[in-house]
Amino acid sequence: FTQLCTGQLLPNSIPCSSQKLFKTSCSVVLLNGDTCTPNQFVIVWSPQVMGKTFLAHIEEIVQVKGLVSDMASIPDMILLEHILVSNSASIYCMPHIRTTNSWLVVGLRVCLIDYVTF
């Protein structure tokens, strides 16, 4: 676990992580059917962030080896970086987005709702 980005950025996010084996996935299918990969952006609704909807960057998709979810290719957790969206940049008339270095581990079923392209 400590070799994963999730373990390095949020070492206490998984209880008993030293007793489990983990692997990363190269993609995840969202609830709406879109397939996303690390380094893409998603719209997230998470009860961990007071029910807010926000934009996030997928950093890592993690599975616990040997669980039913592993055999079904369903991720156990996804490491996200919160993305701040502010007023539009006047030159381009588009929203200005920036990373926040604020990290969050979420589950797939209740949180990731849509894929965003830029």
- Dihedral angle over CA of 67, 47, 33, 73, nearest 10: -10
We report the CATH number of the domain holding residue 33 as 2.30.30
Is the pLDDT reported for residue 99 higher than 60? yes
How many structural domains does the chain have? 1
* pLDDT band (50, 70, 90) for residue 9: confident
The reported pLDDT for the residue numbered 51 is: 61
The reported pLDDT for the residue numbered 25 is: 85
The reported pLDDT for the residue numbered 112 is: 60
Report the relative pairing of strands 94-106 and 41-46 from DSSP bridges.
unpaired
What does the pLDDT look like over 46-90, one tens digit per residue?
Answer: 666 656 788 889 999 988 887 777 777 778 888 999 998 887 767
- Taking CA atoms, 105 is separated from 12, 92, 112, in Å, by 11, 33, 11
* pLDDT band (50, 70, 90) for residue 110: low
- Amino acid, res. 99: T
Which ranges constitute the DSSP H helices of 56-115? 68-71, 108-111
Is the pLDDT reported for residue 12 higher than 80? no
Contact, 22 vs 5, CB < 8 A? no
The reported pLDDT for the residue numbered 77 is: 86
Domain hosting residue 44, numbered range: 5-116
